[in-house]
Chains A and B, each alone.
Chain A
Amino acid sequence: MNTSLATGPLPFARDFALQLLEDMLRIRRMEEKCAELYGAQKIRGFLHLYIGEEAVAVGSLHALRPVDNIVATYREHGHALVRGLSMQSIMAEMYGKREGSSRGRGGSMHLFDARTRFFGGNAIVAGGLPIAVGLALAARMRGEASVTACYFGEGAIAEGAFHESMNLAALWRLPVLFCCENNLYAMGTALSRSESQTDLCAKAASYKVRTESVDGQDVAAVYETTCRAEQYVREGNGPCFIEYRTYRYRAHSMFDPDLYRDKREIEQWKQRGPLHGFTARLKQLEMLSEEEFLALDAKVGAEVERAVAFAEAGDWEPIEDLALDLCAREANK
């Protein structure tokens, strides 16, 4: 594998570069805290960490607009945060508190936010793809100029929903951005052990969908590629499939003993860490000093502490409200 870090000038200004760095840092520090809180049994159930993949959510979501729809997976804390959910509402949701984004009904895997058009938090692999097709169809029929970005892992490509959605989106030339986060493992199953064709773009291209493949550890490249794809899709040319080549540093979930990967492989990928790489690049370009980095890190750390305090101080939803938000109308039983 390529272990070199991206270098050289950036296609955007320093302020924006620092924003990308800050957002990656926010995801990283928030999730490190989540892992700690899981150990302390404050967060329970499934917890899928995004650590190592931050550049994908940050670079791609910054290429999108408020009018766009986002459909994500169960590894979506980072996407939710970058899209604009407050860290407090995310943390409170993971605690199961009523101040959480889904009032404690969703947990880690089901973050939703109508205000930012964040349509979950979908925990059935590939389940979000048909929904994204429908959201894009609605946008087209309503004459809206929005793009629907749908995130999924490479494991989703083995599901029928992927193929049906590719076909529908291409057949109807819908504005869908299929964002494939290829972290090489579907839980413990390596791509090469599950797919006869491991060239993911070839699969998408077979549906006449335009494809891009990009180094998902390089936030600048992710941003640039997504901007290009987003423009193509927004202009009405039909869907685009982007493969973000990335890697998760942590286990699949907190239940996963991570026995299926070579530790050296994980170490090699860590050499190309998105945060570490981008920080080094900004320093090399003299856009960032060590002091500035430490100050940014301290700012993010304070945000994490505030989020935890908020979640700790939150209330439990009353049990009488168990059936609330099942249906808009009266009892459904």
Chain B
Amino acid sequence: MKMSYREALREALREAMSADSRVFLMGEDVGRYGGSYAVSKGLLDEFGPDRIRDTPLSELGFVGAGIGAALGGMRPIVEVMTVNFSLLALDQIVNTAALYRHMSAGQFSVPVVIRMASGAGRQIAAQHSHSFENWYASIPGLTVLAPATVDDARGMLGLALADPDPVLIFEHAQLYNLEEELSADKVSEIRSARVRRAGSTVSLITYGGSLPKTMAAAEMLAEEGIDAEVIDLRVLRPLDEATILASVRKCRRAVVIDECWRSGSLAGEIMARIAEQAFYDLDAPLARVCSEEVPMPYARHLEEAALPQPAKIVAAAKAMLGK
């Protein structure tokens, strides 16, 4: 069955809410408006305003309230409209959700799921185009997911809700309209990376909104006789080092593609781990394709130039092969 990423998320919400009365969704415009990306459209009629709860524009307040509700025995899904606004709630995510289990020596846990749209590519300029999943992925105590396929959009939410600790889900805004065939086998875990395209010459490691671009780059490379493997990280914390290292050891070359700014990017962390553990398996220096270090510009040609693109990925892979 063909399904869009948006519909898959909605189905996952519907299933979770139907299965467990402790689950509820809260956030800005999730109810009457139907969700700023229309993910929760129709759910208000189905589940009512208590469980599809519109909030004021109070990211710090309602994210904290979600955390408190989780402490109080509920299973809240908090939708933050975009990662850009999550900065207003950073204190609650970092200082409360991530720390409570440890600070209380395991007496309290925070089973909250926080979803947010992220990324650029829609000409909405500098303040609405950030990718900060790398910040969150640097924090012990959080699990960070980046569904890049319809299957993961459909399957990850329920697994996140089953986790007794806080889980953040980053939905790249460019993916909502993605349509794919939904697999018969449901996604069953949120701990591993996946090989989305098997190859032998260069490992292309990516996640989220950069996956379609990387798959396109792999096709372009194939036309030139270069057999690229594509790894979809899926889970940004904890990182599945085993899958990353196995691919790198096989291909002996790796390019990491990440929409974050290059400095301090998740790509940098992944490259460091590869260098620490597989340095002698490499036939070429590691490379990465990240966003240019400028605020995201509005004009289409400038925005495209600032972002990772298939051509840049192809160029990085070919340079590594001396081509």
Contact = CB atoms under 8 A, between A and B. Distances in A.
Contacts of B95: 124, 127
A204 B271 CA distance: 51
Nearest to B163: A329
Given A113-B107, A135-B72, A167 B64 contact: no
Contacts of A333: 140, 237-239
Contacts of A132: 68
A277 interface: no
B27 interface: no
B147 interface: no
B101 A326 contact: yes
A139 B72 contact: yes
B38 interface: no
Contacts of A227: none
Contacts of B164: 328-329
Given A124-B91, A130-B67, A138-B69, A114 B58 contact: no
A88 B93 CA distance: 32
A4 interface: no
B62 interface: yes
Contact of B64 (A110, A113, A129): A129
Determine which residue in A101, A122, A325 has the highest number of CB atoms from chain B within 10 A of its CB, and name it: A325
B108 A114 contact: yes
Contacts of B96: 122, 124, 127, 131
B71 interface: yes
Given A161-B61, A326-B102, A332-B238, A137 B56 contact: no
Given A114-B107, A127-B92, A332-B237, A138 B141 contact: no
A116 B105 CA distance: 15
Interface in B38-69: 50, 55-56, 58, 60-69
Interface string A153-172: 00000001100110110010
A325 B106 contact: yes
B102 A105 contact: yes
B295 interface: no
B265 interface: no
A114 B104 contact: yes
B205 interface: no
Interface string A286-304: 0000000000000000000
- A112, A127, A130, A167: which has the most chain B beta carbons within 10 Å? A130
Nearest to A124: B95
B202 interface: no
A138 B103 contact: no
Contacts of A324: 106
A102 B100 CA distance: 11
Contacts of B73: 138, 142
A283 B198 CA distance: 85
Given A119-B108, A165-B64, A328-B165, A131 B71 contact: yes
A168 B65 contact: yes
A141 B56 contact: no
A142 B102 CA distance: 26
B68 A138 contact: yes
B286 interface: no
A332 B140 contact: yes
B251 interface: no
Interface in B94-134: 95-96, 100-109
Nearest to B98: A326
Contact of B56 (A120, A139, A171, A326): A171
Nearest to A164: B61
A133 interface: yes
Contacts of B261: none
A101 B103 CA distance: 10
B238 to A, nearest CB: 5
Contact of B103 (A102, A171, A330): A102
A274 interface: no
Given A133-B64, A168-B56, A329-B163, A112 B107 contact: yes
A102 B66 CA distance: 24
Contacts of A216: none
A110 B73 CA distance: 21
B143 interface: yes
Given A137-B65, A137-B72, A142-B22, 9 more contacts: A69-B72, A105-B102, A114-B107, A120-B100, A134-B71, A142-B72, A160-B60, A164-B58, A328-B109
6 contacts: A121-B104, A134-B70, A141-B24, A161-B64, A164-B58, A333-B237
Nearest 6 A/B pairs, CB to CB:
A134-B68, A130-B64, A138-B72, A164-B61, A112-B104, A134-B65
